[in-house]
Chain A
Amino acid sequence: MHELSLVRSLLAQVNRIRSDRAGLAVDGVHVEVGPLSGVEPELLVSAFEQLAGDFGMTGTQLVIDEVPLMANCPSCGTVTVEPVRIRCPICGDDGVTIVSGDEVRLQSVTIQCPEPEEQAL
C-alpha cells in the first residue's frame, strides 16, 4: 500500500498550485490513472480522504479517470495496448513505447480565487 505516500505528494503539489494563484478553497482535484500506474483507484480515494484534512482540503473532491494503456507504434502511431500483451494490436510490433496509462497524472485543479479587485485591496 503505497498510495498514502503518493497522495501526500499529490496534495503538496496541489497546495503549491493553490498558493501560486493566491487561491483559497480547492474544490476539486482531477487525476488520471492507468492500468500500469501501479495504484488502486479505491485505495487512492481512501488515502485522499485520510490525508486531505492535513493539507487544508477537507471537502475537496478527488475525481479519478481510469484511462487505457496507450503506446506509440513506429508504423501505426498511437494505439491502445493490453497490459499483459504489450504490442501493437494492428501490426503486431512489440517495439512500442508506452505514452500514457503507466502513471498517475494530475490533470487539473479547481480552486476558488479572489476577484482581481478583491486581490488588490
Chain B
Amino acid sequence: MTQQTIAVGRDVRAEARQRAAELRESFTRRGILAVNLLSSPGAGKTTLLQATARHWQGRRRMAVLVGDLATDRDAQRLAPLAPTVQLTTGGACHLELPLVERGLERLGELDCEFLFIENIGNLVCPASHDLAEHLRVIVLSTTEGDDKPGKYPKAFRTSQILVINKTDLLPHVPFSIDAAVADALLIQPQLRSVAVSAHRGDAIGDWCALLEQAHSELILNGHVCHSNR
C-alpha cells in the first residue's frame, strides 16, 4: 500500500458552470435573454416582474420561473400576466441549475424574448450559482439600508444591473441612492443602476429599456457584456 497525493486544482463548481454555459448558449440561439433576479426577502422581485409584464403587455413576451421555499404565492401573482412556473426548493435557500432545467420542461415551448428567474430571497447562497442567465440583477430596496453592497460583495460583484426599489419610501427612510450606488461600484465598477418604485410604477420604463438594450445586444453580438470575475 502506498499513499499518493493527486493534484487537482479545479473549481468544485466547474462542471455545473459548464452545464450552465451550455444552457445559456441554447437561450442565445433562440433569441431569449435570461435574467436571474437576486435580492433579500421582500425587496420587491415579484412586484418588479408584475410591473415589467404590465409595462410590456402586448409588445414584449416574457416567461417566469419563480423560486419559492414552499408556497406558490409568487407564481399566483405572476401567472395572470405571463407564462409562469413555480420552482419549489423544499426549504433550500437558493436555486440550482437542475431545478431550472426541470422548470423549463414544464414551461414547454419557450415563445418569449425574456426569461426571468426569480431566485429565493437571500443575498448569499444564490450568488454562487450560475443559472444560465445572461444578466444577473440585484434588487436592493430603500428599507434595507444603503450600506448593503459591501456586506454582500459576491452578489454585487457578479451582477450587471442594480435595481434600487421602493423609491416611493425615500421620504420615510434613511437611504441615499448615491451612497448605495457608490458602495456597489467599489465592488463592481461596470454595474448599471436604475432606481424604481415597482409598486407605483415609477421608472419602470427605464428598467425595461435596460433589458431591451441587453436583448438587442444579445441578438446583435450573440452575448451580453458579462463581467462576473
**Chain A residues with a Cβ under 8 A of chain B:** 1-2, 5-6, 9-10, 13, 17, 21, 23-24, 27, 31, 35-39, 83-87, 94-95, 97-99, 102-115, 118
Name the one of A10, A35, A108 contacting B6, with C-beta atoms under 8 angstroms. Answer: A108
Name the one of B5, B11, B125 contacting A2, with C-beta atoms under 8 angstroms. Answer: B125
Majority secondary structure, B binding face: mixed
Given contacts A84-B150, A85-B186, A87-B189, 9 further A-B contacts (CB under 8 A): A2-B94, A5-B96, A23-B4, A38-B127, A83-B187, A84-B187, A87-B186, A113-B1, A118-B1
> Closest 6 A-B residue pairs measured CB to CB?
A38-B128, A2-B125, A84-B150, A94-B189, A103-B11, A83-B153
Alpha-carbon separation in the docked complex, A105 to B11 (Å): 4
Min CB–CB distance B86 → chain A (angstroms):
20
> Whose C-beta in chain B lies nearest to the C-beta of A1?
B93
Name the one of A2, A84, A114 contacting B1, with C-beta atoms under 8 angstroms. Answer: A114
Residue-by-residue, is B152-181 near A (CB-CB < 8 Å gives 1, otherwise 0)?
Answer: 011001000000000000000000000000
Which of chain A's residues have a CB closer than 8 A to the CB of B59? none
Which of chain B's residues have a CB closer than 8 A to the CB of A113? 1-4
Which of chain A's residues have a CB closer than 8 A to the CB of B125? 1-2, 38
Alpha-carbon separation in the docked complex, A101 to B184 (Å): 19
Q: Are A36 and B188 in contact (CB under 8 A)?
A: no
Q: Are B94 and A10 in contact (CB under 8 A)?
A: no
Query: How big is the B interface, by class?
Result: 20 to 34
Min CB–CB distance B67 → chain A (angstroms):
13
User: What total count of A-B pairs have CB within 8 Å?
Assistant: 110
Min CB–CB distance B160 → chain A (angstroms):
15
Q: Are B5 and A108 in contact (CB under 8 A)?
A: yes
Which among B4, B10, B93, B129 has the highest number of chain A CB atoms within 10 Å?
B4
Residue-by-residue, is B1-24 near A (CB-CB < 8 Å gives 1, otherwise 0)?
Answer: 111111111111101100000000
Q: Are A104 and B5 in contact (CB under 8 A)?
A: no
> Whose C-beta in chain B lies nearest to the C-beta of A38?
B128
Q: Are B12 and A36 in contact (CB under 8 A)?
A: no
Which of chain A's residues have a CB closer than 8 A to the CB of B16? 9
Q: Are B12 and A110 in contact (CB under 8 A)?
A: no
Name the one of B129, B157, B189 contacting A95, with C-beta atoms under 8 angstroms. Answer: B189
Which of chain B's residues have a CB closer than 8 A to the CB of A95? 189
Min CB–CB distance B156 → chain A (angstroms):
9
Which of chain A's residues have a CB closer than 8 A to the CB of B9? 105-108
> Whose C-beta in chain A lies nearest to the C-beta of B5?
A110
Which of chain B's residues have a CB closer than 8 A to the CB of A5? 92, 96
Alpha-carbon separation in the docked complex, A74 to B92 (Å): 40
